[in-house]
Structure 1
Amino acid sequence: MGVRELGLPARAASAGLPERVTIWEVGPRDGLQNEKAVVPLEVKLEFLDRLAGAGLTTLEATSFVHPKWVPQLADAADLLAGLVPRDGVRYPVLVPNARGLDRALESGVGDIAVFASATESFARRNLNSTVDEQFAMFEPVVTRARAAGMRVRGYLSMCFGDTWEGPVPVEQVAAVGRRLFELGCEQLSLGDTIGVATPGQVEELIDAYAAAGIGVDALAVHFHDTYGQALSNTLAALRRGVSTVDSSAGGLGGCPYAGSATGNLATEDLVWMLDGLGIAHGADLDALVATSVWMAGKLGRPSQSRVVQALSG
């Protein structure tokens, strides 16, 4: 008897968890951006449509980063022009700078995200700036976006550990994140960029934001599964009241700064856990698995998601 025939997961609610979780799907952007072979535009468009058809309502579609840095996303404008939006689905894009915002406005985007660093080392390598200088770059972007009626999310990288600096002080992460809210970001996604966090760290950081006057309703979490901790870290965040979780269909993606990184938290693995806990999310697991199997075929390698492997084997 296969796993699907067993009717798993059994549902057993756990006290103190959100009734509903918003899944912020990053597969089309964060998941594909490090692929060495360029994925055809028509495949990306079908991927987005399949994910929307599976019930996901927030799909991070692409990024207006310079093609020199991320060739995979050089087709951002064409992708948005060819996208057929589904009712009730948001398609945010990552915007690195003022030129990226110009392109987003030209494409009629309604939701953007900016990408900041909690550490000096990563700010220098990823943004060619210091931690303080990055805010001077983001301020006009966020201000103009908000004036245009856009919703703005802030990503904060290296929240738990930095490749060059080691563990990152909680107070430092909370202070940098607070400055993103002060700029005008409506939501902050706390990123475990190299996948080194453990649940106690997650709880500690969320508590630090609460102490700084920032509630869990304004926070999201973004975990990589380098050391197999993404689901346990997510559960720790849920127990603190966080109700927006970033994930990537099939576990697509990885961190170029950690050679052993195995990618983002897989959306299917997240959905399996949420289903078992009786937490609503709106996604269809079978449709997600089918989508990730399809995309794995396009990429020429098996899905990293344990749930995809179990249900498609």
Structure 2
Amino acid sequence: MADTVQYLKMNGLGNDFVVLDARQKPLKLSHDQVRWIADREQGIGCDQLIVLEHSPLDGVDVFMRIYNAEGGEVDACGNATRCVGYLVAEELGKKAVTIHTNAGLLNAELKGDVVSVDMGTPRLAWDQIPLAEEFEDTTGIELQIGPIDAPVLHTPSVVNVGNPHAIFWVKDLDAHDLARLGPMLEYHPMFPERANISLAQVMGRDHIKVRVWERGAGLTEACGTAACAVAVAAVRKDLTDREVTISLPGGDLYLEWRASDHHIIMTGPYELDGEGTLPAELFEESAA
């Protein structure tokens, strides 16, 4: 008989997660198990599954493993980092914690009802995104959707903030069907590791509205790493200042791309929605 596995349900601006704690008992999940948990009709339902583990590094509070809804691992998730930062800070009675991810170490600081996360420095070279072709300037690469003389979307900025992002600058977010365009862009041959796709409308030097098609998850209410990527790309194109509000369907994130060390600081809310127990039969085959 498989042991019962407890879970927490959390969200950051509507970008929602199932969080499992594997620090006391290791938990190895198959693609099928992850997909079942993420399934909103048959399972629990979430954009990403988060598994907390012990970090092998000294002085680090937790390792955060991230799975997308398709069942594969991803390296970074900004909204999940804020949620986990809150959980671990509360558990340890600390204001600041260090979270180990496949993308590196992230520092999270609890500030009342928001968490600030130092997301590190962006990677901007074409082979760090990565792209299938070499581009000297990644503030706008040669890629377009639609007719050559009247493209629907074109010349995206590309940034890697632990995962690859392509940002298309538009005049009107509502004029584009991201649910239709997102899949073809995510899987475009230009992106050998696929990409998160954002549409960004600049509202002013301190404000951008964004919609995101998240790699492996689809349309999402919010994406923290996308907000980071948009903020960096906007500064590089001199569209905004270094401190900017990113408005997503689920709410606002506050970004600063510091000039002093080029670190990206993301600040936003977290929510604990509830808890439950995963069905034992989900683990019976793997326990046999």
What's the TM-score once normalised by structure 1's chain length? Answer: 0.30
| Higher share in helix | 1
What's the TM-score once normalised by structure 2's chain length? Answer: 0.32
